[in-house]
């Protein structure tokens, strides 16, 4: 079982992250589809804005993003992506992070739990490597003031030493890895 242990700097933001986690569970449900069943639409009472949303996938993506990422999380992600995802108008494009969470992070979300009032753990599994990588998921956690402190990436347990807002050193914990691998194999 892969995991990321994190320090909780703000309980309310942890609650906000739980919505992201639930969304990640939902989109991984077999047969899940974002498409609306047109037979269920109340065509007589639909507004122009709601009708446009039904047919515009970009608007649907932006709506999902705004429902999941509060202003503070969006501001963090804009800072993180400021050098990478700038479109031709100079705007920072943060929506790809949602595509990553929905499709690019090829894992099954297994568990999200509070370990105590200061620490939490998210566990996930995958059948394929690479699985989209953890780096962007680490940044999503940090956007909610959930600071990764340790992870098991499928091979090694690392402790994170954050040297800046977005950069860390990964310190390999060999002894802990050996114990953990023995534990999960039994």
Task: Note whether residue 39 is domain-resident.
Answer: no
CA proximity to 64, closest of 105, 94, 104: 94
Contacts of 85 (CB under 8 A, 6+ apart): 92, 93, 94, 96
Q: What does the alpha-carbon distance between residue 134 and residue 153 come to, in Å, rounded to a whole number?
A: 8
Q: What does the alpha-carbon distance between residue 186 and residue 180 come to, in Å, rounded to a whole number?
A: 10
Task: Note whether residue 40 is domain-resident.
Answer: no
Task: Note whether residue 77 is domain-resident.
Answer: yes
2 vs 53, residue with greater confidence: 2
Res. 171 pLDDT band, cuts 50 70 90? very high
Is the model's pLDDT at 158 over the cut of 60? yes
Q: What does the alpha-carbon distance between residue 74 and residue 144 come to, in Å, rounded to a whole number?
A: 10
122 vs 129, residue with greater confidence: 122
- Tally the domains of the chain: 1
Task: Note whether residue 177 is domain-resident.
Answer: yes
- Judge contact between 132 and 105, C-beta under 8 A: yes
Measure Cα distances from 101 to 41, 138, 161 in Å.
Answer: 28, 11, 24
Is residue 157 helix, strand or coil?
strand
Neighbours of 18 (CB within 10 A): 13
Show the domain range for 129: 2-34+46-185
Task: Note whether residue 41 is domain-resident.
Answer: no
Task: Please give the helix or strand (H or E) that residue 17 lies within, else none.
Answer: helix 11-27
Res. 130 pLDDT band, cuts 50 70 90? low
Predicted TM-score of the model (pTM): 0.87
Q: What does the alpha-carbon distance between residue 37 and residue 35 come to, in Å, rounded to a whole number?
A: 7
Q: Of all residues in the chain, what percent carry a pLDDT higher than 90?
A: 62
**Stretch 145-170: mean pLDDT, rounded?**
96
pLDDT of residue 86: 46
Task: Note whether residue 143 is domain-resident.
Answer: yes
Is residue 18 helix, strand or coil?
helix
Indicate the average pLDDT of the chain: 88
Rg (Cα) of the chain, in Å, rounded? Answer: 19
102 vs 58, residue with greater confidence: 102
pLDDT of residue 131: 66
For residue 93, the Cα-to-chain-centroid distance in whole angstroms is 16
pLDDT of residue 34: 76
Give pLDDT tens digits for 67-120.
Answer: 999 999 999 999 998 865 444 445 556 788 998 999 888 899 999 999 999 999
CA proximity to 170, closest of 144, 141, 134: 134
47 vs 93, residue with greater confidence: 47
Q: Of all residues in the chain, what percent carry a pLDDT higher than 70?
A: 89
| Range 168-176 contact pairs with CB under 8 angstroms and sequence separation of 24 or more | 168/138
């Amino acid at each position: 079982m892969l995991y990321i242990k994190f320090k909780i700097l703000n309980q309310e933001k942890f609650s906000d992250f739980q919505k992201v986690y639930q969304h990640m569970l939902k989109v991984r449900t077999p047969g899940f589809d974002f498409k609306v069943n047109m037979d269920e639409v109340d065509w007589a009472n639909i507004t122009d804005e709601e009708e446009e949303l039904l047919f515009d996938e970009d608007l649907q993506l932006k709506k999902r993003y705004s429902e999941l990422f509060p202003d503070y999380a969006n501001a963090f992600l804009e800072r993180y992506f400021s050098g990478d995802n700038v479109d031709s108008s100079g705007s920072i494009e943060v929506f790809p992070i949602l595509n990553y969470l929905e499709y690019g992070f090829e894992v099954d979300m297994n568990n999200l739990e509070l370990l105590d009032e200061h620490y939490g753990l998210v566990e996930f599994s995958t059948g394929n490597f690479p699985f989209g990588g953890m780096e962007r998921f680490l940044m999503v956690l940090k956007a909610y003031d959930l600071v990764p402190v340790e992870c098991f990436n499928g091979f090694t347990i690392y402790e994170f030493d954050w040297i800046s807002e977005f950069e860390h050193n990964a310190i390999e914990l060999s002894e802990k890895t050996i114990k953990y691998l023995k534990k999960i194999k039994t």
